[in-house]
Amino acid sequence: MSGLGTKQRILDAARTLFAEHGFPATSLREITKHAEVNLAAVNYHFGSKDGLLKELVNECIEPINTERIRLLDAAEAEAGGQPLVMRDLIRIFLEPAVRELCDQGSAMPCILSRLHHEPHAGLEEMMSDILAPTITRFVTASHRCLPHRTPEELLIRGHFMIGAMLHLLDFNCEELVPGLGINEEVISGYDFRLEQLISFCTAGFDG
């Protein structure tokens, strides 16, 4: 934890601790102790605790949306003006997020999905700025797949999809459902979850 610069050491420690205990329950004093830097360094590099969070989130979701746009461009180019297959469109939206977030050592999913439901000054605007173009593209493309659906129906279903995805990212099954014969190994696998999610949403958009 000492070979890197101060800023990076703070980011690494914060990512871990936020995921473990949640954002409000993690103090800057803990973070700077783990990172072996001075307390005031956080304010110097990030302005505030919220600023630190914002940088963490930005560094995480920006590449995901870039990848979504890239895949969408490629798919639409290949389709040559024809509507996409809805299942492919949904996979383009979900797979980069699930893959990327679950490859980072399972720290960011918890942080991110919690954030979607807790307001933070300036953070929602940032998320919207990054996500809005993707959502617009998604709704437009899905309207071509399912022309019998109104834009309102497609937008609200897009939000159902986001809600389901967020819930998938951070929930653990350990807590619930005794006596149903659930195989924990099966239901914990991310491949299983992703494919189930894609199937659920694909059918949901059509239903």
Partner DNA sequence: GTCTATACTCCGATAGAC
Partner DNA sequence: GTCTATCGGAGTATAGAC
- Our finding on whether 45 is near DNA (CB under 7 A) is yes
Give the span between the Cα atoms of 46 and 19, in whole angstroms.
Answer: 19
Nearest approach in angstroms of CB 118 to DNA is 15
- Our finding on whether 43 is near DNA (CB under 7 A) is yes
Range in contact with DNA (rule: CB under 7 A) among 29-37, 102-110, 163-171, 195-203: 29-37
> Closer to a second copy at the Cβ: 32 or 113?
113
* One of 27, 38, 66, 136 touching a second copy (CB under 8 A): 136
> Closer to a second copy at the Cβ: 81 or 152?
152
> Closer to a second copy at the Cβ: 7 or 200?
200
90 closest CA partner among 161, 167, 144: 161
Nearest approach in angstroms of CB 203 to a second copy is 2
* One of 41, 79, 139, 146 touching a second copy (CB under 8 A): 139
One symbol per residue from 53 to 92: x for binding a second copy (CB under 8 A), - otherwise; what is it? Answer: ----------------------------------------
DSSP for the chain? --SS-HHHHHHHHHHHHHHHH-STT--HHHHHHHHTS-THHHHHHHSSHHHHHHHHHHHHHHHHHHHHHHHHHHHHHHHTTSPPPHHHHHHHHHHHHHHHHHHSTTSHHHHHHHHTTS--TTHHHHHHHHHHHHHHHHHHHHHHH-TTS-HHHHHHHHHHHHHHHHHHHH--GGGS-TTS---HHHHH-HHHHHHHHHHHHHHHHH-
* One of 3, 80, 119, 147 touching a second copy (CB under 8 A): 119
Range in contact with a second copy (rule: CB under 8 A) among 15-23, 33-41, 52-60, 64-72: 15-23
DSSP for 122-144? THHHHHHHHHHHHHHHHHHHHHH
Q: What angle do CA 72, 142, 88 make, to 5 degrees?
A: 50
Which residue ranges make up the site for a second copy (CB under 8 A)?
21-25, 113-119, 124, 128, 131-132, 135-136, 139-140, 150-153, 155-157, 159-168, 170-171, 173, 175-183, 186-187, 192-193, 196-197, 199-207
Which residue ranges make up the site for DNA (CB under 7 A)?
5-7, 26-30, 37-45, 47-50
